[in-house]
Structure 1
Amino acid sequence: MKVNLLLTGNELMAGDTIDSNSVMMAEQLAPLGWRIHKKVTVGDDRALLRAEIDQLCDDADVLIINGGLGPTVDDLTAQVLAECSGQPLQEHPAAIAHLEDWCQRRGFAMNASNRKQAMLPAHCDIIANARGSAVGIMLQHRSCLVLATPGVPSELRQMLTDEILPLLRQRFDSDHIRTLRLGVFGLGESGIQEQFNRELADWPADIELGFRASMPVLEVKLTARGQDACKQIATWRQPVEALLGDHLLGELPLNLPALLVKELQRAKRRLCTAESCTGGLIAAQITSVAGASAVFPGGVVSYSNAMKQSLLGVDQGILERCGAVSEEVAVAMARGALRISGADMALAVTGIAGPDGGSDDKPVGTVWLAWGDAEQLRSLCLHLPFDRQGFQQWVAALGIDLLRRQLLGVDTLPGVVQRYRRS
């Protein structure tokens, strides 16, 4: 089955609204083995809408139109579908009944603008909308099944689940499909691809390998289709996981802070943080995880030298001799955090987020991290050439991953460290 999408609305074209609906539809169609063949976005223009509907219907089995079913003059989908299919617009009895019920449940009278949403192509069927006032439209045009849906994401999601996907499964064959999504930290797309080329040269042509770069977790996706899809994925999962090694976080969805909290809970250890350049971002990410209070007594944001001294007990002589961004200060911050919190482990970071404040010896992007316990604190200096926000995000992710590795007994550092490490 070939599916096309048509997204409508001036707000999409102007950038006032971000298109999340096409992502939602693609995600819900994918497990059934159906992909979006083509996606087009147009503004509220009758001529453009009609031209695109005709063209997209000529090239698909199903066209899903999203948006333009509201009560205002710029909601044109029903009118244009009537023109394309050569039908008059008329008040649809089921749509009127839906509107009356929707208004009654909210305690107000139906007005003329509401009633516009019941003016549909004369011979169409409706798609029930359990959440909103506008029903969807279903009709056949040029041998293509056309499904028009409201643009409100919550309404679309329920219509997909309750109405549209069951309808498509009835009318079209669904391919067997199995997708494995693995989360990786510390390796880049090109590096992983080279490893595949080198170590898995016999990679089967019927398993699609894909990557999705994001910060901080990179997705490696394996997709197989057909009767043997599950067996194929099971066969190749082990060599892929072995190739990714200690950079593999697990099966998505997941996130680094949650993994760290899980490992702290397993090891029955408590963590404290001492942050300068990240301004509390690491603590915020950890405390976003439910149950973090059991393993995270707290952290200190010591942005100024005075706060490093008064809160963490960093010696003034070290600050004057080595500077705030130094191994000595990072280690002293970690030790101070351990002392005042009573925690078992600490993570301390101090760096230059920019855009100003760097020097020849310590350029913008320089950061020292110290992590471990009272018996052994490790330290590392990196140069992260990102903007301020990117720098802070990378420092937080790297620090969390270093702790995760230590808790797992992994001595090696993430591969990305080699790229950014300063001697």
Structure 2
Amino acid sequence: MAEVPRVQLLLTGDELMSGDTVDSNSALIARELAGLGLTPCRRVTLGDDRQALAREMSTLASDANVLIVNGGLGPTIDDLTAAVLAEVADSGLEEHPDAVSHLEQWCEKRGLVLNAANRKQAMLPAGCTLIPNPVGSAVGFSMVVSGCLVLCTPGVPGELRAMLPIILERLRERFGITLQKDILRLQTFGLGESTAQQLVVDNHPDWPEEVVLSFRAGAPQLEIKLSVTRAEDRPLREQCHDWLQSLFGDHIIGEGDTRIAEAVINLARESGITLSCAESCTGGMIASMLTQIAGASDVFPGGFVTYSNALKQSVLGVQASTLESEGAVSEATVKEMVSGALDASGADLAVAVSGIAGPGGGSAEKPVGTVWLAWGDRQRVETVCLCWPVERVLFQTMVAAAALDVLRRRLAGIDKQSSYFDQRRMR
């Protein structure tokens, strides 16, 4: 590599400062830059303040080889990036004909009329180079300021994601980047970050330094990354991959960006098995996660959100006597919910959940965080009672993922009980 560029980020928007929008774009940019062996050395977030943006943009450009500006390319008066960069570069604004053409095509595809507000997105710094936007209306653009390559990108995550491959290719060309980090990402469920790290340390204390092991914790999945920077180290990484398969095999969902629902859908499609779900405490999150996957309708005819006891009875056929004697959060109830979901949907395999999401409603016998899961077909239904004493939305997220995970294991023929059952099982 001829030069290792110093990279800085500038995120813009009042919505980021107020907390109305959570910044996920800087993480996305950083992950993609890592593939080139680059790490941002500074990240700044500012609201829609023209003077503050101009000062910060000038300062960052004078202290970096690359400045990525994210946000502020929309059609409204608070979208200031183009005007501010033109001021900092002392270039002036002009209507870019290729940006106008892009807007016209974008509007035509959607049956819209190009209005003055949208046309504002074609007013760009004179002399800039466009960065195509395959998804949205706002093109990106770049120009050199004080020797720094400034790349301006839209704040919509999907648009940024679509444009990043173009940006990475331009960075490769400009800085002669040939040494590239090769990252293998494994998606897992049911593993904690510290537990996974300790298992690796205990079982492979001689882990090779050529293969960088790292973790990215999230809800509901944990990502494990194996990175090398030389082609000749790939066989060594494969050996490390085999070690992790041995340690965490039944917890590994897939590679890359695989989501747990995607793994379930793929396994069901391969097996020719249809699925359903009966939800109480998760309020439809299991069905939502499944239907986020394209082609889910091939194997998922539908599910049922039966929050009240009355609907558990009328929709799923749960017996009133069961609810009276055992309660809604009980093994007997979720088993009957599975049977009802199988009958009502005609599916081959179903999962049911009923629990106490909190913050109230718990008792000494059934504290907040308690959940019963049942899953199975018309011949065999399995159950487990777990406890996730966490805030409500995280509880729902983890329970929904656990429900998908028991389906994944059943479809994959994994008989081994998940280790998180022992950690979360109600005593």
**TM-score, reference length from structure 2:** 0.81
What is the CA–CA distance in structure 1 between the aligned matches of 2:100 and 2:249, rounded to whole Å? 59
Question: Could you tell me which residue of structure 2 aligns to residue 412 of structure 1?
Answer: 416
Query: Do structure 1's residue 356 and structure 2's residue 329 form an aligned pair?
Result: no
Question: Could you tell me which residue of structure 1 aligns to residue 327 of structure 2?
Answer: 323
Pairwise CA distance, 1:77 = 5.8
Structure-2 change in CA distance of 1:146 and 1:198 (3 Å)? same
What is the CA–CA distance in structure 2 between the aligned matches of 1:333 and 1:100, rounded to whole Å? 56
Question: Could you tell me which residue of structure 2 aligns to residue 186 of structure 1?
Answer: 190
Deviation sequence 1:121-149 (CA, Å, 0-9, x none) = xxxx42125456777352251xx423142
State the AA in 2 paired with 1:126.
C
Question: Could you tell me which residue of structure 2 aligns to residue 147 of structure 1?
Answer: 150
Do the aligned partners of 1:281 and 1:396 also contact (CA within 8 Å) in 2? Answer: yes
Deviation sequence 1:214-249 (CA, Å, 0-9, x none) = 222211111111343433422321112211121111
Do the aligned partners of 1:187 and 1:414 also contact (CA within 8 Å) in 2? Answer: no
Question: Could you tell me which residue of structure 2 aligns to residue 369 of structure 1?
Answer: 373
Q: Which of 404, 413, 416 in structure 2 is aligned with 1:400?
A: 404
DSSP-derived class of the 2:264 partner: helix
Query: Do structure 1's residue 303 and structure 2's residue 307 form an aligned pair?
Result: yes
Structure-2 change in CA distance of 1:160 and 1:192 (3 Å)? closer
Structure 2: unaligned runs, 5 residues or longer: 108-112
Pairwise CA distance, 1:58 = 5.2
DSSP-derived class of the 2:276 partner: strand
Do the aligned partners of 1:334 and 1:370 also contact (CA within 8 Å) in 2? Answer: yes
Structure-2 change in CA distance of 1:114 and 1:360 (3 Å)? closer
Pairwise CA distance, 1:56 = 3.3
Structure-2 change in CA distance of 1:243 and 1:346 (3 Å)? same
Question: Could you tell me which residue of structure 1 aligns to residue 130 of structure 2?
Answer: 128
State the AA in 2 paired with 1:128.
L
Do the aligned partners of 1:181 and 1:252 also contact (CA within 8 Å) in 2? Answer: yes
Instruction: Tell me the C-alpha RMSD between the 2 structures.
Output: 3.5
Q: Which of 167, 173, 184 in structure 1 is aligned with 2:170?
A: 167
What is the CA–CA distance in structure 1 between the aligned matches of 2:411 and 2:227, rounded to whole Å? 32
Question: Could you tell me which residue of structure 1 aligns to residue 207 of structure 2?
Answer: 203
DSSP-derived class of the 1:332 partner: helix
Alignment of 1:85-104 (within 5 A): 88-90=90-92, 97-98=97-98
State the AA in 1 paired with 2:300.
F
Pairwise CA distance, 1:401 = 0.8
Structure-2 change in CA distance of 1:352 and 1:204 (3 Å)? same
Structure-2 change in CA distance of 1:207 and 1:314 (3 Å)? same
What is the CA–CA distance in structure 1 between the aligned matches of 2:140 and 2:121, rounded to whole Å? 12
What is the CA–CA distance in structure 2 between the aligned matches of 1:127 and 1:181, rounded to whole Å? 33
Pairwise CA distance, 1:385 = 0.7
What is the CA–CA distance in structure 1 between the aligned matches of 2:153 and 2:384, rounded to whole Å? 52
Alignment of 1:15-414 (within 5 A): 15-44=19-48, 48-49=52-53, 52-53=56-57, 55-57=59-61, 59-67=63-71, 88-90=90-92, 97-98=97-98, 117=123, 120=126, 125-130=127-132, 136-141=141-146, 144-153=147-156, 160-162=164-166, 164-174=167-177, 175-414=179-418
What is the CA–CA distance in structure 2 between the aligned matches of 1:398 and 1:133, rounded to whole Å? 40
Structure-2 change in CA distance of 1:343 and 1:253 (3 Å)? same
Structure-2 change in CA distance of 1:310 and 1:404 (3 Å)? same
DSSP-derived class of the 1:254 partner: coil
Do the aligned partners of 1:71 and 1:117 also contact (CA within 8 Å) in 2? Answer: no
Do the aligned partners of 2:86 and 2:124 also contact (CA within 8 Å) in 1? Answer: no
Structure-2 change in CA distance of 1:196 and 1:310 (3 Å)? same
What is the CA–CA distance in structure 1 between the aligned matches of 2:93 and 2:302, rounded to whole Å? 62
Do the aligned partners of 2:86 and 2:93 also contact (CA within 8 Å) in 1? Answer: no
What is the CA–CA distance in structure 2 between the aligned matches of 1:108 and 1:299, rounded to whole Å? 42
State the AA in 2 paired with 1:185.
F
Pairwise CA distance, 1:267 = 2.7
Tell me how many residue pairs correspond in the alignment: 411
Between stretches 305-314 and 383-392, larger displacement belongs to 305-314
Deviation sequence 1:380-419 (CA, Å, 0-9, x none) = 1112212332222222211221121122222222222222
Structure-2 change in CA distance of 1:241 and 1:145 (3 Å)? same
What is the CA–CA distance in structure 2 between the aligned matches of 1:297 and 1:158, rounded to whole Å? 31
Structure-2 change in CA distance of 1:360 and 1:103 (3 Å)? closer
Deviation sequence 1:332-356 (CA, Å, 0-9, x none) = 3223333444433332222222233
**TM-score, reference length from structure 1:** 0.82
Between stretches 239-248 and 10-19, larger displacement belongs to 10-19
What is the CA–CA distance in structure 2 between the aligned matches of 1:337 and 1:115, rounded to whole Å? 50
What is the CA–CA distance in structure 2 between the aligned matches of 1:363 and 1:126, rounded to whole Å? 60
Question: Could you tell me which residue of structure 1 aligns to residue 110 of structure 2?
Answer: none
